[in-house]
Amino acid sequence: MNQDLLQIERELKKRLSYPYKWGRKQNDQFDKLTNFVYRFPSFEDVVKEIESRFKQDKEHQNISNYALTRWYNFWSAQAVEKIFCSLPNVQPAIDKKNRLVDFTIDGVTFDHKTSIFPKNFPHPIDEAIKKTDELIKWLYKNQSQQQRKHLKNRLFIVLYSSTGEHWKLKAEISWLKERIEKYMNGFNPNFLLKFNLEPDHQTLADVIWAIR
């Protein structure tokens, strides 16, 4: 695995000893306050930045939780995107600011989303695997509200840990790389699941299961 990915994995794992909570529902106001997380790949640097900006703020603890969770999710997603884009049949998005497309696989455009197995999904993990289409519909309906919401093609990486701490698997970049490469070895656009989530538009999606 290249040095960039190993470095991201090391930084992400420094986050694991902190509680994983947003402190509030994700919203555009707190997103604006914490957009600086995109500039700091180093965990120590982002912690310093949070302290220097919000130490005196009465919402300090909430903002800190929110920023650290956003930082962790963003840099994990960056690593996953790098993994996809290193594979032979994947082209990176031409427009980096297009939030609907991260890359193209065999001519099909995708946004990717790493998601922890949702506790409110009405089936346990073994049934959910058999009902992938139902889980995908649930994720489109319930995830990513406000500026992140869309119904375009998506590849979901769904994390499940037997410990219940599914979120910690976002830091296991080397292991996720193996899961992604295994999935991509058998990738065929004809096997993607098809959904009619919007009028006159077919959405293509699939789940890469990452279970430990």
Task: Print burial letters for 21-44: b (CB count within 10 Å at least 16), e (below 16).
Answer: eebeebeeebeebbeebeebbebe
Residue 119: φ, ψ to 5°: -70, -20
pTM: 0.92
Token pair of 91 as six digits: 């082209």
- Which residues are bridge partners to 157 per DSSP? 114, 208
Cβ neighbour number for residue 158 with a 10 Å cutoff: 25
pLDDT, one tens digit per residue, over 28-71 is 889 999 999 999 999 999 999 999 999 999 989 999 999 999 99
Q: What is the pLDDT of residue 145?
A: 53
Provide the pLDDT confidence category of residue 144 given band limits of 50, 70 and 90: low
Domains in the chain, number? 1
C-alpha–C-alpha distance, residues 183 and 181, integer Å = 5
> Span 123-144, mean pLDDT?
93
Neighbours of 81 (CB within 10 A): 17
Is residue 168 within 8 Å of residue 12, measured between CB atoms?
A: no
Q: Which residues contact 117 (CB under 8 A, 6 or more apart)?
A: 125, 128, 158, 159, 160, 166
Give the CA angle between residues 72, 70, 30 to the nearest 5°: 165
Amino acid at 212: R
| Phi, psi of 64, rounded to the nearest 5 degrees | -60, -50
What does the pLDDT read at residue 135?
Answer: 97
The pLDDT score that the predictor gives to residue 110 is 95
Q: Is the pLDDT of residue 132 over 70?
A: yes
Look at residue 10 and tell me whether its pLDDT is greater than 90.
yes
Give the domain extent around 101. 3-211
Q: Alpha-carbon torsion 120, 124, 125, 130, what sign?
A: negative
pLDDT at res. 149: 64
Per-residue model confidence (pLDDT) at position 147: 52
Instruction: Categorize the per-residue pLDDT at 148 as very low, low, confident or very high, splitting at 50, 70 and 90.
Output: low
